[in-house]
Chains A and B, each alone.
Chain A
């Protein structure tokens, strides 16, 4: 019963955010300098008058504002994200075609950074004050201050151009016609650089967080008790400290999901990765606003979904969490 209540509450919260982004998008179209019809058509300044007039009638832009908002909401909620006049395709189709590539990239970058971040953070906390600790924390400090897109470019410079180990562009070898396992390996090969460059910034974040969280738990009384009882240090770290220290890291990681998607815009642009981040960049270049707003809405929806799943998992991992969170 409690779980159901919790679920409904979180679903309402998620719906609230998505609805908010839809309304925000609507307001942005209205507030944008120039005619909203021209904005939707992606025409800068003087476009074809007749075409714009036709669009204005089509979108009901001569109606009162609240009627426009209602019909916009209705469209979006029924899955119609508008039409890309530049590409002559519905926006929803464009995004759905690109979404899997982005989910693959952000998903693997998330796993990479979380695993590496936790391992490094635990090591640093375990060997506190040692040379290893200093090296790990200095590395984290540097990657925390490095722009994502620049790391990506430097990785291409070193690993693709100079060493020729990894492919710098695309998601798979064009025209190679791999199928089955060979294709999986080919995509994995292309995935390495984007994943690592997108993940390093977040690795730095999680390393710092894990270390701080570990050190905090290591000072608690039950750890002293375990030490006094003569439990070996490695076992204390694994079974007593890590289990308690890792929860804040997970919470923070799920909250950060949105940032990861934002970073994907930059990574995909550098690596010509065929996801929605690259789509967003192309839409920017072409001033294709319906696509831009559509990508924004979909990324927000993905983030909300990730947060929802994380909330549920979190409750499962730590039963102490109550509905009022």
Chain B
């Protein structure tokens, strides 16, 4: 209750939420709004924006509707952003929990492993992974997950490390609960709010990474995506600016909205930090 009220006090967070709701609705309604595949040419080629009211954002070289492409692209961006983040959070929570709860040698080894993944250039690694396992929606999602879990692992480890010595955990140990059960039912629920904040910001980064990959031609060939549209329009920048401007605005607005939501969640969940932002 008070959480919702605190969130609602943050204007930026409300704007972000409103934008995201619109993006989600557009993504869901894409097949209804644009029954023809976004890969199919529907109008005259290279119509400028607002030249033909049927295609308000114009068409590309093959007469494909830019607005339809953006609507279908929203599906890909949100899908990959959410699923890859979910996978990364599962990996990060599992490794971080083990490291923080058991400590000692387990902690050492897992943290070395995490540090390794944190050091190597994330985007270059994502490119290599997707290229080698050939670009499709699964390889892209997994590659993004593989390069984005380390911060979650570190965060969760820190939380587990500090919660492990609390009295309620010791009580659970005395009662005879097993390690995995204590981690899942005692510690994890108490560490959940920073994980949610981090995860929400990771969705934004994942969408940026996905668009960068598909810009480089590492997108799923069967799914229209924003990055792909910009990449394909790159050589036509001089003749047809709208081909690359509108998909870019779509990425910017979506990522911005998610970042605003993430910050709003952070402020609402950690009210004691509010003064810092002032």
Residues of A near any B CB (own CB < 8 A):
16-17, 20-21, 28-29, 31-33, 39, 128-129, 141-142, 144-150, 153-154, 156-157, 161, 212, 215-216, 255, 258-259, 261-263, 265-266, 269-270, 280-281, 284-285, 287, 289, 292-293, 295-296, 299-300, 303-304, 307
Q: Are A17 and B116 in contact (CB under 8 A)?
A: yes
Residues of B near any A CB (own CB < 8 A):
112, 116, 118-125, 127-129, 131-134, 204, 208, 211-212, 215-218, 227, 230-231, 234, 237-238, 241, 244-245, 248, 251-252, 255-256, 259-260, 276, 278
Q: Which chain B residue shows the least CB distance to A283?
A: B131
Given the known A-B contacts A284-B216, A299-B124, are A17 and B119 also in contact in the complex, defined by CB atoms under 8 Å? yes
Residue B123 contacts which of A17, A33, A262, A293 (CB distance < 8 angstroms)?
A262
Q: Are B123 and A142 in contact (CB under 8 A)?
A: no
Q: Which residues of B contact A266 (CB under 8 A)?
A: 123, 212, 215-216
Q: Are A307 and B119 in contact (CB under 8 A)?
A: yes
State in angstroms the CA–CA spacing of A188 and B256 once bound together. Answer: 33
Q: Are A300 and B131 in contact (CB under 8 A)?
A: no
State in angstroms the CA–CA spacing of A245 and B59 once bound together. Answer: 50
Q: Are B119 and A28 in contact (CB under 8 A)?
A: no
State in angstroms the CA–CA spacing of A117 and B127 once bound together. Answer: 28
Q: Number of contacts between A and B (CB, 8 Å)?
A: 136
Q: Which chain B residue shows the least CB distance to A158?
A: B241
| CB proximity of A202 to chain B, nearest CB, Å | 13
Q: Are B124 and A295 in contact (CB under 8 A)?
A: yes
Q: Are A161 and B237 in contact (CB under 8 A)?
A: yes
State in angstroms the CA–CA spacing of A20 and B211 once bound together. Answer: 28
Q: Are A20 and B116 in contact (CB under 8 A)?
A: yes
Q: Are A265 and B276 in contact (CB under 8 A)?
A: no
| CB proximity of B22 to chain A, nearest CB, Å | 16
User: Given A17-B119, A215-B276, 16 other A-B contacts at CB below 8 A?
Assistant: A16-B112, A17-B116, A28-B129, A31-B133, A141-B256, A145-B208, A145-B255, A145-B256, A147-B208, A149-B230, A156-B237, A258-B124, A263-B123, A293-B128, A299-B124, A300-B120
State in angstroms the CA–CA spacing of A296 and B278 once bound together. Answer: 42
State in angstroms the CA–CA spacing of A95 and B248 once bound together. Answer: 31
Q: Which residues of B contact A304 (CB under 8 A)?
A: 119
State in angstroms the CA–CA spacing of A147 and B247 once bound together. Answer: 11
Q: Are A285 and B217 in contact (CB under 8 A)?
A: yes
Q: Are B123 and A154 in contact (CB under 8 A)?
A: no
Q: Which chain A residue shows the least CB distance to B208?
A: A147
State in angstroms the CA–CA spacing of A284 and B132 once bound together. Answer: 10
Residue B124 contacts which of A31, A33, A262, A307 (CB distance < 8 angstroms)?
A262
Q: Are B212 and A149 in contact (CB under 8 A)?
A: yes
Q: Are A128 and B278 in contact (CB under 8 A)?
A: yes
State in angstroms the CA–CA spacing of A307 and B121 once bound together. Answer: 12
Q: Are B131 and A284 in contact (CB under 8 A)?
A: yes
Q: Are A32 and B216 in contact (CB under 8 A)?
A: no
Q: Which residues of A contact B119 (CB under 8 A)?
A: 17, 258, 300, 303-304, 307
